[in-house]
């Protein structure tokens, strides 16, 4: 079960990435009532450029264990970007059930401020390191182009969605507005001022049709989750189980997919949607990402995601609560990955400690993470208590 | 064909402005992003061909910087495969375009689509 979790989010953290990771880990261990010496398994993820500015780290998990001073039996890198946090939780539960470990650390995050200062978006990280990082196996054919990935990639999806299904800019803006409403009640949120559809539509156009207020702001920060056999603390954390799980990997260049308006959530969420789900935490790198998942997990028919947000109140008080804490669009995106933010919000809801934005009687929450280069990976988890 | 040989044939076509692509002789699949096996059926029986360069805009986005803007998109070629490219002027999805390739100093491809007049 998940016995402890913690986050630390900063617009810019002036210290070392190791230090920030360690302090967040200690907070999560404290909640679980465990000592660092209890840790016998560790999952972590990292993206180029997000660990003290290095393009990459030699034997990364070893470095992290070295700094933390832990001796886990196994360590593993999960390489799905924003979806990694959810994969880690699933793998940690499995390892514990199989008797391979008793206490597993799941760590996501890093510092985005270095790449941010270079003016380089994460999927163009090669440009910050003089092409010493590869982006695809086809960089000769792809990296001669001018783009702003991942923003421009999602913009292509949003524009094609508009063309195929007549979805509107107003419908996407509504997603940002609803999430902001939820964020206004969340003291972890960076953006808490009221927001209107007009303000979203009038914000700076970044990559048509995506405007500034539809796009996450990359920040520095970590989320650490402790999955352990037993909790040793007296904290009132609920004994949560994974009630549903699905995972799908679509590694193709999006141009080689049948269409770009589907995400692998179509496969990862298959059969997991049911009436018992009280809230949804959906990956929110951009407004369009949320709209696509509403369709792909089955809340709305394909193409009707925009209408879905018009018909339903998706605030934490509404009939279909989505991104109940305001999501990464308002908390900021630690090291270019939103998975920790949506998972932590699900845990706050399930433990009835989402102060100010608590969904009444949240017993079952569906979390969907999307990650990897150009939406290549999706993980769906349904969390709740096993009856 | 080894990948090196595929790229040497690609460069020959691209250096004269053409758009190369691969066709699988076993299953017929056509693709641009070069591999020495067919991503669909796994066959190594592949052929490098020159596209006629004519296609339609599959999607596009205009990216705004401080002092300028540029267009990035996906074009579906008449032969049935798609490529990422930059686009020289304002377009709509479905517009007919012609693609021109140039090879940059570092060997990378600059793929440009312009409206077919």
The whole-number pLDDT of residue B76 equals: 98
Taken as a whole, chain A contains a residue count of 387
The distance of Cα A72 from the centroid of its chain, to the nearest Å, equals 25
The DSSP 8-state label assigned to residue A3 in this structure reads: E
Mean pLDDT computed over every residue of chain A: 96
For residue A192, what pLDDT band results from cuts at 50, 70 and 90?
very high
Interchain pair A143, B31: CB under 8 A: no
Residue A230 has a pLDDT of 76
Instruction: Mark yes or no for CB contact A159/B59 under 8 Å.
Output: yes
Residues 6+ apart with CB under 8 A from B28: none
Q: Point out the residue among B34, B59, B107 whose CB comes nearest to the CB of A260.
A: B59
Who among B73, B108, B111 is closest to A156 (CB)?
Answer: B73
Q: Does residue A336 contact residue A219 with C-beta atoms inside 8 Å?
A: no
pLDDT of residue A120: 87
Per-residue pLDDT band at A58 (split at 50, 70, 90) = very high
A355 pLDDT more than 90: yes
* pLDDT tens per residue across span A217-268: 999 999 999 999 977 777 778 999 999 999 999 999 999 999 999 999 999 9
**N-to-C CA span, chain B:** 37
* Pairing status of strand A41-44 against strand A74-77: parallel
Q: Identify which of A82, A351, A315, A69 has the alpha carbon closest to the alpha carbon of residue A235.
A: A351
pLDDT at position A198 is 98
Residue A232 has a pLDDT of 74
| Residue A263 half-sphere exposure toward CB, CA atoms < 13 A | 36
- How far from the centroid of its chain's Cα atoms is residue A14's Cα? 23
**Burial, A227: exposed, middle or buried (Cβ in 10 Å; 0-12, 13-18, 19+)?**
buried
Q: How far apart are CA A264 and CA A84, in angstroms?
A: 14
Mean pLDDT estimate for chain B: 97
For A29, counting Cβ atoms within 10 Å of its Cβ (0-12 exposed, 13-18 middle, 19+ buried), the class is buried
B117/chain A closest Cα distance in angstroms: 23
> Measured at the alpha carbon of residue B39, what is the angle toward residues B35 and B44, in degrees to the nearest 5?
60
Position A373 scores a pLDDT of 85
- The per-residue pLDDT for A121 is 86
Q: Does A91 score more than 90 pLDDT?
A: yes
pLDDT level of residue A11 (50, 70, 90 thresholds): very high
Average pLDDT over residues A98-112: 97
Mean pLDDT of A107-121: 93
Q: Does A152 touch chain B (CB under 8 A)?
A: yes
Chain A interface mutation, best of B32, B51, B59, highest count of A Cβ atoms under 10 Å: B59
Q: Are A33 and A248 in contact (CB under 8 A)?
A: no
Scan for tokens 């470095």, then name that residue.
A63
Q: What is the pLDDT, as a whole number, of residue A374?
A: 84
Cα A330 from Cα A29, distance rounded (Å)? 27
Mean pLDDT of A352-360: 97
Q: Is the pLDDT of residue A52 over 90?
A: yes
Return the structure tokens found at A116.
Answer: 């941010």
As a whole number, mean pLDDT of residues A197-204 equals 98
| pLDDT on residue A255 | 96
Torsion of CA A283, A288, A291, A293, to 10 degrees: -40
For residue A150, whether the previous peptide bond is cis, meaning omega lies within 30 degrees of 0, is yes
* Contact (Cβ atoms closer than 8 angstroms) between residue A285 and residue A170: no
Query: Which residues on chain B are in Cβ contact (under 8 Å) with A253?
Result: 33, 84
- Taking residues B84-111, report their average pLDDT: 98
Q: Which residues contact residue B47 at a Cβ distance below 8 angstroms, ignoring those fewer than 6 apart?
A: B22, B23, B25
B82 touches chain A (CB under 8 A): yes
Query: Which ranges in A129-196 belong to alpha helices (H)?
Result: 139-142, 151-165, 169-183
Task: Copy the structure tokens of residue B67.
Answer: 């002092």
A209: preceding bond cis by omega (within 30 degrees)? yes
| Helix, strand or coil, per DSSP, at residue B59 | strand
DSSP code, position A360? T
**Which residues, numbered 9 to 68 in chain B, qualify as contacts with chain A under a Cβ-Cβ cut-off of 8 Å?**
10, 31-35, 39, 58-64
Q: What is the mean pLDDT of residues A319-341?
A: 98
Contact A221, A215 (CB under 8 A): no
Other residues' Cβ atoms within 10 Å of the Cβ of residue A245: 18
- Compute the distance between CA of residue A349 and CA of residue A325 in angstroms, rounded to an integer: 9
* pLDDT > 80? residue A345: yes
Tens digits of residue pLDDT in A137-176 = 999 999 999 999 999 999 999 999 999 999 999 999 999 9
The 3-class SS string of A186-239 reads CCCCCCCCCCCHHHHHHCCEEECCEEHHHECCEEEEEEEEEEECCCCCCCCCCC
């Amino acid at each position: 079960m998940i016995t402890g979790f913690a986050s630390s989010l900063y617009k810019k953290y002036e210290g070392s990435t190791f230090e920030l990771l360690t302090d967040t880990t200690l907070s999560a261990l404290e909640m679980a009532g465990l000592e660092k010496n209890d840790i016998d398994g560790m999952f972590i993820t990292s993206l180029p450029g997000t660990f003290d500015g290095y393009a990459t780290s030699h034997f990364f998990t070893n470095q992290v264990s070295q700094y933390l001073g832990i001796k886990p039996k196994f360590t593993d890198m999960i390489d799905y970007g924003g979806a990694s946090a959810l994969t880690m939780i699933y793998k940690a539960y499995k390892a514990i059930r199989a008797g391979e470990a008793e206490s597993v650390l799941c760590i996501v995050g890093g510092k985005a401020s270095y790449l941010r200062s270079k003016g380089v978006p994460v999927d163009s990280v090669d440009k910050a390191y003089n092409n010493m990082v590869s982006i695809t196996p086809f960089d000769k054919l792809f990296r001669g182009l001018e783009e702003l990935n991942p923003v421009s990639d999602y913009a292509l999806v949003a524009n094609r969605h508009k063309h195929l299904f007549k979805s509107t800019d107003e419908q996407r803006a509504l997603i940002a507005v609803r999430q902001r409403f939820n964020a206004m009640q969340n003291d972890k949120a960076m953006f808490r001022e009221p927001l209107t559809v007009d303000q979203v539509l009038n914000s700076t156009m970044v990559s048509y049709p995506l405007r500034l207020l539809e796009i996450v702001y990359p920040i520095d920060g970590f989320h650490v989750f402790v999955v352990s056999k037993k909790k040793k603390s007296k904290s009132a954390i609920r004994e949560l189980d994974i009630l549903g799980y699905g995972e799908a990997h679509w590694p193709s260049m999006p141009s080689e997919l049948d269409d770009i308006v589907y995400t692998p959530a179509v496969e990862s969420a298959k059969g997991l949607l049911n009436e018992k789900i009280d809230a949804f935490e959906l990956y929110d790198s951009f407004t369009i990402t949320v709209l696509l998942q509403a369709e792909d997990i089955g809340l709305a028919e394909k193409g009707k995601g925009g209408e879905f947000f018009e018909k339903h109140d998706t605030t934490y008080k509404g009939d279909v609560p989505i991104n109940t804490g305001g999501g990464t669009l308002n908390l900021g995106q630690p090291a270019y990955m939103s998975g920790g933010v949506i998972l932590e919000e699900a845990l706050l809801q399930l433990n009835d400690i989402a102060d100010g934005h608590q969904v009444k009687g949240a017993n079952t929450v569906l979390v969907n993470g999307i990650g990897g280069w150009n939406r290549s990976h999706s993980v769906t988890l349904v969390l709740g208590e096993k009856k | 064909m080894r990948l090196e040989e595929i790229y040497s044939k690609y460069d020959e076509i691209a250096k004269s402005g053409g758009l190369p692509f691969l066709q699988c002789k076993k299953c017929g699949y056509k693709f641009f992003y070069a591999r020495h096996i067919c991503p669909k059926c796994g066959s190594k029986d592949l052929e490098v061909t020159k596209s006629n360069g004519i296609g339609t805009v599959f999607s596009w986005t205009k990216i705004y910087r401080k002092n300028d803007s540029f267009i990035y998109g996906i074009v579906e070629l008449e032969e049935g495969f798609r490529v990422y490219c930059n686009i020289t002027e304002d377009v709509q999805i479905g517009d007919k375009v012609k693609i021109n390739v140039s090879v940059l100093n570092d060997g990378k491809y600059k793929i440009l689509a312009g409206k077919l007049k």
